[in-house]
Chain A
């Protein structure tokens, strides 16, 4: 990637101006593009960007030394970590501003127009701002007072992380109410769902204690509850899920193919 570099430090601004100029010309041209040509253009772009990965997979490789390990590569392989991944990540990160803008716009309007709940919106705006200020400030390399780190520590570890954990642990309550409601022996299906859930749950918890006196060797081990639960997981659950996954995988393959070839009617191409 040495040829990417330009010699003079200041000329980067020149390059930036050039890029922006080209951008405006291209966008200007795009706005004049006839409606009928939009879809072919989009399909072409999808095809080209998809082609990269397809070629990377299908082209033959040779062995290259990387971090002391021989790895198979072709001339596209190196571009994935160096160009394509950063490009996709940079683009997503730059687009994050869009989402942020929409969030901020809604809540800013709430505050300005004093809609009901505007205090909450204000709290949201303030907390966003303070997280950004203290996040950047405490990460900045330049010298900053110690209390900045402390405030960030309270915001992140004290409030944010604990809210994360609290939200995560809410699921336990919902599991209880969902299983109370759903695990009724109403139909045959509901009953087997319940039975296998109970056996596995018992096998993982104090079920092992119930059958602790049963020897864990020979045929006796078949009467231990943890044997049952791992049997269900390995012999029924795993092939069942695998069969579903095969279908899901093929569905994804077909969908990827349709998008790549531009024959998918739907969300992406706007028809």
Chain B
């Protein structure tokens, strides 16, 4: 499915998902702030910053180990919140990034966060550090930094791979309180085993809506829920059709099966024509 014309049905379906999200964003911007359920991992963020403030030790933030993409931008959104809270209490921060483009934008974001809290004098350019763009060199350096500075709280949010457990266990060994979340489902179990609070799956994307209560993000979150509901509906519908027709593979494919693969649109048109 490299192009929309490979299967227009899928393109329209995606359009519908986008529309659902957009409608809710607009609704929310007009002032109907929706309900969001409690997400324990996100509540822990302020607690962790508070702990670091009490101990007078720095907090560490890592926005994943990939470059500038949707995931790391979302992580930076959360870190803006963290930095502003830390700035209020004058808690020192450390941010380690492993991509130069991400480093550039992180500098900007952190500086802005201090500015927004009215404490630009607290901003230290060396608090945001580019360490290495190589996975394990970065991990080695972060592990050293955690131990040397005895960080009190850590936030690992973004895309993580094998090195996730190195960060989490080393931070655990210095007694840091840890909040971690990753979109890489295969790394989530390691965070669950080693961290105090874990943000699972798309709770990660819910974070900015949850923390800032900002209308666009909140509306979008509700829209995502509706989109998810639509997906669930189709999965259930497909399974019902399979069950009714007793389909277990074979050449007599139900239409709904074809709809979601290349050539689905042609199959749909064909069967509509067949109907009349």
Indicate if A touches B (C-beta under 8 A).
yes
**Chain A interface residues toward B at CB < 8 A:** 56-61, 72, 74, 91-92, 95-100, 102-103, 106, 163-164, 167-168, 170-171, 174-175, 177-179, 181-183, 193, 197, 241, 244-248, 250-259, 263-268, 270
Contact B133 A99 (CB under 8 A): yes
Residue from A95, A258, A266, A268 with most neighbouring chain B CB atoms (10 Å): A266
User: What interface size band does chain B fall in?
Assistant: 35 or more
| For the complex of A and B, 7 pairs with smallest distance between CB atoms | A251-B205, A99-B100, A247-B202, A99-B130, A267-B76, A174-B169, A244-B201
Contact indicator B206/A251 (Cβ below 8 Å):
yes
- Do the beta carbons of B80 and A267 come within 8 Å of each other? yes
Contact B76 A193 (CB under 8 A): no
Whether the pair B165, A253 counts as a contact (CB closer than 8 A) is no
Shortest C-beta distance, B53 to chain A (Å), equals 24
Chain B binding surface SS class: helix
Which residues on the B side are within 8 Å of A193 (C-beta)? 189, 192-193
Chain A residues whose CB sits within 8 angstroms of the CB of B154 once the complex forms: none
Using Cβ atoms and an 8 Å threshold, which residues of chain B touch A95? 100-101, 104
Q: Which residue of the partner chain A has the closest CB to B194? A: A178
Chain B residues near A96 (CB-CB < 8 A): 100, 133
Distance in angstroms between the alpha carbons of A10 and B14 in the assembled complex = 51
Interface of A is mostly: helix
Q: Cα distance A78–B6 when bound, in Å?
A: 17
Question: Nearest A residue to B26 by beta-carbon distance?
Answer: A263
A121 to B204, CA, bound (A): 36
What 1/0 flags go to B66-82 for Cβ under 8 Å of A?
01001101101100100
A248 touches which one: B6, B201, B212 (CB < 8 A)? B201
* Distance to closest chain A CB from B60 (angstroms): 16
- Smallest beta-carbon distance B251→chain A, Å: 25
Check if B259 is an interface residue, CB within 8 A of chain A: no
Residues in chain B near residue A57, CB distance under 8 A: 2-4
**Given A179-B193, A182-B192, A193-B192, A255 and B74 touching (CB < 8 A)?**
yes
Chain B residues near A246: list those with CB within 8 A: 228, 231
Contact B105 A247 (CB under 8 A): no
Does the CB pair A98–B100 fall under 8 Å? Answer: yes
A43 to chain B, nearest CB (A): 13
Q: How far is the CB of A247 from chain B (nearest CB, A)?
A: 3
- Asked if B200 lies at the interface with its beta carbon under 8 angstroms from chain A, I say yes
B201 and A255 within 8 A (CB): no
State which of A181, A252, A265 has its C-beta within 8 Å of the C-beta of B70.
A252
- Beyond A57-B2, A263-B25, A266-B208, list 8 extra A-B contacts (CB 8 Å): A103-B130, A167-B140, A174-B168, A255-B70, A255-B205, A267-B105, A268-B73, A268-B105
B162 near A178 with CB under 8 A, answer: no
Contact B169 A178 (CB under 8 A): yes
- A178–B193 touching, CB < 8 Å: yes
Please tell me if the beta carbons of A267 and B201 are within 8 angstroms of each other in the complex: no
- Residue in B2, B200, B216, B227 whose beta carbon sits within 8 Å of that of A244 in the complex: B200
Q: Does B176 contact A (CB under 8 A)?
A: no
| Interface contact B4-A250, CB-CB below 8 Å | no
Query: When the two chains form their complex, are residues A248 and B3 in contact, meaning their CB atoms are under 8 A apart?
Result: no
Task: Say yes or no: B224 contacts A254, CB within 8 Å.
Answer: yes
Asked if residues A250 and B227 are in contact (CB atoms below 8 Å), the reply is yes
Q: With CB as the reference atom, state the residue of chain B lying closest to A106.
A: B126
Contact of B100 among A60, A97, A170 (CB under 8 A): A97
27 residue pairs of the A-B complex, CB under 8 angstroms, read A58-B3, A58-B11, A61-B5, A72-B5, A91-B101, A92-B100, A96-B100, A102-B103, A103-B132, A106-B126, A106-B129, A174-B165, A174-B168, A178-B169, A241-B186, A244-B188, A245-B201, A247-B202, A250-B228, A251-B202, A251-B224, A253-B227, A254-B224, A255-B73, A265-B214, A266-B208, A267-B76
Across the two chains, which residue of chain B brings its CB closest to A102? B130
Q: Which of the residues A170, A241, A247 comes within 8 Å of B228, measured between beta carbons?
A: A247
Contact assessment for A270 and B205 in the assembled complex, using a CB-CB cutoff below 8 Å:
no
Q: Which residues of chain B are within 8 angstroms of A98 by Cβ–Cβ distance?
A: 100, 103-104, 130
> Could you tell me the distance between the alpha carbons of A183 and B109 in the complex, rounded to whole angstroms?
39
Contacts of B71 in A (CB 8 A): 252
Distance A258 CA – B22 CA, assembled complex (angstroms): 9
